[in-house]
Structure 1
Amino acid sequence: MEKNSSIHNMKQFFEQYTVSLAKNLLGKLVLVKKNNELLGGYIVETEAYLGVVDRACHGFEGKLTPKVEALFGKAGTVYIYTMHTHKMLNIVSCEEGNPQAVLIRGIEPVINIERMIENRGKEGILISNGPGKLTKAMGIGDVFNKSKICEITKEFHKVSKKSIYDIENMEENILYIDFENSKIAKNISISARIGIPNKGIWTEKELRYFVAGNKYVSRMKKSEFKDECWK
């Protein structure tokens, strides 16, 4: 989807096939309001998890438990789970009851980077080049679980020297997506998902997507960094 399209139907966007959503989320500008401050960045890395057939997915075989309830929700629902004390941010796809989602693995920070550095205790690419890193940087935790993503529309825009957003009109602990100010990757690379051992064919399936050359992609080699990775 082009970043300047005026026909962004949120329901339709998130209900698209999970693999397509994982690709189309790359470059999208996501924002959160925490403690009356706005933080945001461009999504640069995702992984698709394909529900009841995917042995690496929490929805494998359709097992519904309280911990994964959000995963069975409507498209655009936020699903947060904990791995090794780190919070993982997922966005539910497809129709309700079909437990598929996209894991957000990396963002390029752009709004309030100073606060993200403070939240992480790290700077440079270490701010958000990994799923647990980006959630800590942006203050995303369990309180976001089961919430619905909101679209940044004209009601959130205001013209000022400091910001194009009307932060007073935004809610705390909600994930926002700004289609209008998103970017488009020059190239998208594909690989197997990270940290998926012993899952048969699902270990090797290429369901990880990332902006080629972006330094905020997890495990990206310095030799692969590119100065210009957006169109």
Structure 2
Amino acid sequence: MNYSEFFTNRPTEEIAQDLLGRTLSFDNGQETLAGTIVETEAYLGPKDRAAHSYNGRRSQANEGLYCPGGHLYIYSQRQYFFFDVATQEKDNPQGVLVRAIEPTAGLTTMIKNRNGKNGALVTNGPGKLMQAFGIHSRKWDLASLEESPFTIDLTSKRPIEKILALPRVGINQSDPEWANKKLRYIVAGNPFISDIKKKEIKTSHGFDKS
């Protein structure tokens, strides 16, 4: 399966869940930094009040969402950058935000990029994981995954004990319906989830080790 097939022809919610357990990696030209995806959020296009494409909004800033599935939508808020992949066909502006990864390669560099922060703080949030990768621009916005230094492994994934669907984070509560829709998906019990409580962390990190 290629990226175009993976990121189209099925609901964005399903794609967001299927990304969990897969490896996201970034080649910085000197080494590959990588981690297992443990938290994602689905955004469902013009009907979704939390989506950047709500009500058909379209500009140079969010054009990545209007690209064919498998293209990158990298956007910024304040000094942070976020990794989003367009889903669906061209001009159907839906996407999945990768919110957190569990590092698997290049951890020393990631900690350095995060100014010495370690443990879960290295990559337990969408801005943090991009900072850990050393991303400080929108350079790869609009690129297809194939044409970028990012890779998502579609050939294998770590077996997950349980996926939980939860409300998205930081959504405007003025619209309770969309603010509370359970469109955020997590590997239950993984310590790198952005808002996990200590008592919820599993020693298995939420993966089936059998």
TM-score (norm 2): 0.92
Identity %: 38
Deviations along 1:24-50, one digit per CA (max 9) or x if unpaired, are 000110111113211000100001000
Which range is displaced more, 69-78 or 138-147?
A: 138-147
**Correspondence 1:134 to 2:129:** yes
Q: Give the corresponding residue for 1:3.
A: none
**Alpha-carbon distance in structure 2 between the residues aligned to 1:106 and 1:94:** 22
Q: How does 1:11-30 map to 2 (within 5 A)?
A: 11-15=4-8, 16-30=10-24
Q: Secondary structure at the match of 2:149?
A: coil
Q: Secondary structure at the match of 1:142?
A: coil
In the TM superposition, structure 1's runs of 4+ consecutive aligned residues that sit over 2 Å from their partners are 179-182
**Correspondence 1:182 to 2:176:** no
**Alpha-carbon distance in structure 2 between the residues aligned to 1:55 and 1:68:** 15
Q: How does 1:54-69 map to 2 (within 5 A)?
A: 54-69=48-63
Q: How far apart are 1:9 and its partner, in Å?
A: 3.4
Deviations along 1:84-112, one digit per CA (max 9) or x if unpaired, are 32101101101110110001100000111
Specify the code of the residue in structure 2 equivalent to 1:10: Y
**Alpha-carbon distance in structure 2 between the residues aligned to 1:42 and 1:30:** 6
**Alpha-carbon distance in structure 1 between the residues aligned to 2:123 and 2:110:** 9
Q: How far apart are 1:199 and its partner, in Å?
A: 2.9
Q: Give the corresponding residue for 1:148.
A: 144
Specify the code of the residue in structure 1 equivalent to 2:3: M
Query: Which sections of structure 2, spanning at least 5 residues, go unmatched?
Result: none
The count of corresponding residues between Structure 1 and Structure 2 is 203
Q: How far apart are 1:181 and its partner, in Å?
A: 4.5
**Alpha-carbon distance in structure 2 between the residues aligned to 1:50 and 1:104:** 15
Q: Secondary structure at the match of 2:7?
A: helix
Q: Secondary structure at the match of 1:144?
A: coil
Q: How far apart are 1:185 and its partner, in Å?
A: 1.3
**Alpha-carbon distance in structure 2 between the residues aligned to 1:226 and 1:195:** 25
**Alpha-carbon distance in structure 1 between the residues aligned to 2:134 and 2:87:** 23
